Amino acid sequence: MKKQVLVTGGTGYIGSHTVVELQAVGYDVVIVDNLSNSQLDVLDRIEQISGIRPAFEQFDLVDQEKTEAFFQKYPNLNAIIHFAAFKAVGQSVDKPLMYYRNNLVTLMNLLECMTIFNVPNLVFSSSCTVYGQPEKLPVTEDAPVQKATSPYGNTKQISEEILQDTIFANPELKTIALRYFNPIGAHPSALIGELPLGVPNNLVPFITQTAIGLRQQLSVFGDDYNTPDGSAVRDYINVVDLAKAHVIAIARLMENKNKKNFEYFNLGTGRGASVFEVIESFERSTGQKLNYKVVGRRAGDVEQVYADTRFANEELGWKAEKTLDETLVSAWTWEKNLRK
Ligand code: UD1
């Protein structure tokens, strides 16, 4: 029988790419999503790519009763990948309770059900935001967690603590937290990708929307950082590469290859790219000229962060493969496809 994996947030950006990769290696996928930041037709698109329509249940995992009813309906789950969460840093500052309730209660409900219904394996979406501005770069997994600069970031830190404590108390549970750097790009089919609601906060969707004419101009937030060209540096990781790491993490748990019951890994390329480098790479690889201007720094932004990926490379046997150029081309192809 195929192993069954619950993917929460499976119609979202990283979730949908991960569903496709799970199906490609033979997992039976069940998606739970409340569609608060995604659309139902993502299921059609997943089916177009993989030839398999994943099972889908629409409800809010904040609801404990509905969550329990779901686990009753699907008694053969082997593992869970938990993506479902809010992720807009600025919005979290305005609506902290909405963020704490959504991002923490869903996790607690899932953990409760994992113990009641004997589903031992969980992969959790964490973030490099837990490191703040690290003292040493590239940042390793043992770098200290720094006080979060936003409620969103805090939900990721608290979630990791909830996981650690719950796993300590329930040694039958096992978790891998994956700390993403900056996921960008889209599936090579251009059928799934990032679909920001309203004005994008993140750099790459803002770039592609500007290039296609939806936005007038990209603002570069700061050129006075202590970096080679003065703009801030991040580690941009291709979303398909990222999705593949989830498949490896799930197998590691199910095959009991994990060394501890709570493990965490950096998922990045190991290479920092500045905002100007991203713009230059986009213009060169797509042939599109980008209208941009430098403005002041954005509150809460760190100067530079990029991953030390050795632990993920060695332990998971995973490595990011796609270049920044080809990833930006995939984001551009997706954007063009969306606006056709
Ligand atoms: C942030 C969060 C991260 C979260 C991610 C997803 C922090 C430190 N990081 O990443 O945890 O997972 O959002 O929402 O909280 N930029 C511009 N102009 C723009 C947009 C961005 O110059 O219009 C610059 C930013 O200043 C930054 C870089 O581009 O230097 C990347 O920004 P963004 O894509 O928003 O991601 P982060 O802020 O790194």
The model's pLDDT over 99-127, given as tens digits with 9 standing for 90+, comes to 999 999 999 999 999 999 999 999 999 99
- Which atom of ligand 1 lies at the shortest distance from residue 87's CA? 14
Burial 83-111 (b: 16+ CB within 10 A, else e): bbbbbbbebbeeeeeebbebbbbbbbbbb
pLDDT at 149 over 90: no
pLDDT at 76 over 90: yes
Is the CB of residue 325 less than 8 Å from the CB of residue 285?
Answer: yes
275 C-beta closer than 6 A to ligand 1:
yes
Q: Over range 193-213, report the average pLDDT.
A: 95
Tell me the best of 14, 37, 86, 89 to mutate to test the pocket of ligand 1, counting ligand atoms within 8 Å of each CB and taking the most: 89
CA distance 273 to 304: 9
232 C-beta closer than 6 A to ligand 1:
yes
N residues, the chain: 340
| CA 54 to centroid of ligand 1, rounded, Å | 31
pLDDT for 129: 94
Q: Which residues contact 256 (CB under 8 A, 6 or more apart)?
A: none
CA distance 208 to 279: 10
Tell me what the pLDDT averaged over the chain comes to. Answer: 97
| CA 274 to centroid of ligand 1, rounded, Å | 11
CA distance 159 to 166: 10
Take atom 26 of ligand 1 and give the residue whose Cα is closest. 221
CA distance 41 to 19: 14
| CA 202 to centroid of ligand 1, rounded, Å | 5
Is the CB of residue 185 less than 8 Å from the CB of residue 204?
Answer: yes
On the CB side of 161, CA atoms within 13 Å amount to: 9
Element (H, E) at 329: helix 324-338
pLDDT for 197: 85
Take atom 21 of ligand 1 and give the residue whose Cα is closest. 203
pLDDT for 300: 86
Q: Report the DSSP beta bridge partners of residue 189.
A: none
Range of lowest pLDDT (87-91, 105-109, 199-203, 210-214): 87-91
Is the CB of residue 62 less than 8 Å from the CB of residue 51?
Answer: no
Q: What are phi and psi of 81, to 5 degrees?
A: -115, 120
| CA 175 to centroid of ligand 1, rounded, Å | 27
User: What pLDDT digit, counting tens, does each position of 306-324 carry?
Assistant: 999 999 999 999 999 999 9
pLDDT for 340: 83
pLDDT at 299 over 90: no
pLDDT for 171: 96
pLDDT at 261 over 90: yes
Residues catalogued as catalytic: 152
pLDDT at 251 over 90: yes
218 C-beta closer than 6 A to ligand 1:
yes
CA distance 252 to 59: 29
